[in-house]
Amino acid sequence: MKLTEILSDDLIILPLKGQTKEDTIKEMVDYLYSKKKIQDRHKILKAILDREKVMSTGVGDHVAIPHGKAEGVKDIVALFGITENDIDFHSNDNKPVRLIFMLVGPPDKTGPHLKALSRISRLMHKPEFREMLLNAKDPKEVMSIIESEEEKCFEI
């Protein structure tokens, strides 16, 4: 599963306005709901926040990948945002977060969900890729950067 299959220009937020981890997650879930990508805002928000309670999805290097599975979404959905300010996500490396990939899916799509998480993690591990995203001017440029990086890094 390519990220460009589940992510598009209209699923990129530049900038995210939230000032806290919880506010930012709510902003992203509300955005997905407004775009009709999820049907049950409450279930999705609860699933993601419950996942955060188990262990922070702040994976380090200024990146977070909040995710969850719940009824209220028909298929795997991704959303990407770059925060306006540093956000404390209680990351593994104690660094603030700026780059956030949100991933949500139904409970019966565990395989595709894990593949998408793996793909995001591999891409976000590259410092030059993160830097290009931080410098992107608009959603179209973000999509172009992701598409180009996927072609370089994965057999598609």
pLDDT digits (tens, 9 = 90+) for 77-131: 999 999 999 999 999 999 999 999 999 999 999 899 999 999 999 999 999 999 9
How many domains does one find in the chain? Answer: 1
What CATH number is attached to the domain comprising 114? 3.40.930.10
Q: In degrees to the nearest 10, what's the CA dihedral of 146, 149, 155, 156?
A: 30
* Residue listed under structure tokens 């956030």: 100
In 11-25, which positions are buried (b, 16+ CB within 10 angstroms) versus exposed (e)? bbbbebebeebeebb
Range of the domain at 40: 3-153
Residue 86 is given by DSSP the state E
pTM of the model: 0.95
Query: Per the structure block, which two tokens stand in for 22?
Result: 């919880």
| Nearest Cα residue to 99 out of 44, 45, 69, 142 | 142
Among 11, 37, 16, 35, residue whose Cα is nearest residue 146: 11
